[in-house]
A and B are shown apart, each in its own frame.
Chain A
Amino acid sequence: MSAVTVNVTTYTSAHTIAHVTSKMLLLLKEIIREVGLDPSKLADEWENLERGVSTWLKSRHLNQLTLEIYNPRTDSLVSRWDLDVIYGYGNDETFWADTEAIRYSITKAGMVASQCNYRFIIYTSPGRPDVSGWGPCTALSTEGFSRFSIGSAIGGNGIGTEISYWKKV
């Protein structure tokens, strides 16, 4: 009888936070690039975003990370992408992210004019710890827009992310 050695990887909550945080930012990069905008601004803000998202995922205050694409001349919304956080999602010790689904959905959501600008908004529950570089803001109006759900985009052993976009109808 031969012995069989099986290596089992045990993931911790820190692994989940690192995975979901990095993949949420990866999805933002994919969306920004695929809708026709320059991800350079995201690169400038990557560290701030990572600090905010990981801190509030860890404290479980993070509810939604939003990418607002707007017309800088009129300060009006052009398109919006929401990454909703789901706590208690799939406790099966698997980590995954589906960027292909995003690319497919962008063809439906449509490209935006290259003159558009973008910014990031994080929605949190009350009582969140403060994170440097982040302050209160008001989201642009979504009046006249409809929200379309794409579905699950990230899974990470207890935390998942569902993605949706807003389009003018």
Chain B
Amino acid sequence: MATVVTRTVASMPQRTAVQTWEKIVAIVAPDPKSPARAELQKAAGVAAASIASEAPKDDGFIIHGNGPQVRVYCVFGDEAVSGDGVNEDALQASPTEGDWQMSVPCLQEDLDWSQKKLKSDTKRVTARETGEGVAANESNNRDPSAALSVNLQEFLKS
């Protein structure tokens, strides 16, 4: 059974787009000296543009390939300031060790340049259009019992 772990990060106006990205990176790649940190830094500009467009509101950053799939959403406006629905807790295990990939949500009008930019800068981070998913089974559940949680946003959509 595929598992999905979600986190929800407070974004604008609690944080700028770059500060939001830095928080996301700190959650999914907690070791500041890890190769994943350096790899994710290459995607900072595209990720910040995605966040500024509020694309990750309903379509999270998806990290898959190592353990449960991790989806990181952002909240904006009053919710970001009040902290309603925010969950920035550390993950039980880093999803960016070993063979991992990240998918960045992008608005349709930003998809083409974002894909080209990420393709030229990084081999692990790609862009997808909002509304498009990454299959939950695109993960290696080395320890399925490690982090099983309800994906509330997906549940409420159904």
Binding site for B on A (CB under 8 A): 7, 9-11, 15-19, 21-23, 25-26, 29, 33, 38-40, 42-47, 50, 54, 95, 156
Please determine whether B49 and A39 come into contact, CB atoms closer than 8 angstroms.
Answer: yes
Residues from chain A with a CB closer than 8 A to the CB of B82 are 7, 9
Can you name the residue of chain A whose Cβ is closest to the Cβ of B54? A26
Can you name the residue of chain A whose Cβ is closest to the Cβ of B45? A43
In the complex, number of A-B residue pairs with CB atoms less than 8 Å apart: 80
Please determine whether A40 and B13 come into contact, CB atoms closer than 8 angstroms.
Answer: no
Binding site for A on B (CB under 8 A): 12-19, 44-46, 48-49, 51-53, 77-78, 81-82, 109-110, 113, 116-117
Classify the interface of chain B: helix, strand, loop or mixed: helix
Given contacts A15-B81, A18-B16, A22-B16, contact A47 B113 (CB under 8 A): no
Q: Which of B45, B49, B51, B81 has the most chain A CB atoms inside 10 A of its CB?
A: B45
Residues from chain B with a CB closer than 8 A to the CB of A23 are 12, 52
Given contacts A9-B78, A95-B77, contact A43 B18 (CB under 8 A): no
Give bound CA distance, A55 to B18, whole Å: 14
Classify the interface of chain A: helix, strand, loop or mixed: helix
Can you name the residue of chain A whose Cβ is closest to the Cβ of B82? A9
Please determine whether B13 and A15 come into contact, CB atoms closer than 8 angstroms.
Answer: yes
Given contacts A33-B110, A40-B117, A46-B49, contact A18 B14 (CB under 8 A): yes
Residues from chain A with a CB closer than 8 A to the CB of B116 are 38, 40
Please determine whether B78 and A54 come into contact, CB atoms closer than 8 angstroms.
Answer: no
Known: A15-B81, A50-B16. 5 other contacts (CB 8 A): A18-B14, A19-B13, A25-B49, A26-B49, A40-B116
Residues from chain A with a CB closer than 8 A to the CB of B52 are 22-23, 25-26, 29
Residues from chain A with a CB closer than 8 A to the CB of B19 are 18
Q: Which of A18, A38, A42 contacts B45 (CB 8 A)?
A: A42
Give bound CA distance, A39 to B46, whole Å: 9
Can you identify 25 A-B contacts, CB atoms within 8 angstroms? A7-B82, A11-B13, A15-B13, A15-B81, A16-B13, A17-B16, A18-B15, A18-B19, A19-B13, A22-B16, A29-B53, A33-B109, A38-B113, A39-B49, A39-B113, A40-B117, A43-B45, A43-B48, A43-B49, A45-B45, A46-B18, A46-B48, A47-B45, A50-B48, A156-B13
Given contacts A33-B110, A39-B113, contact A50 B18 (CB under 8 A): yes
Please determine whether A21 and B49 come into contact, CB atoms closer than 8 angstroms.
Answer: no
Residues from chain B with a CB closer than 8 A to the CB of A39 are 49, 110, 113
Please determine whether A33 and B113 come into contact, CB atoms closer than 8 angstroms.
Answer: yes
Please determine whether A44 and B81 come into contact, CB atoms closer than 8 angstroms.
Answer: no
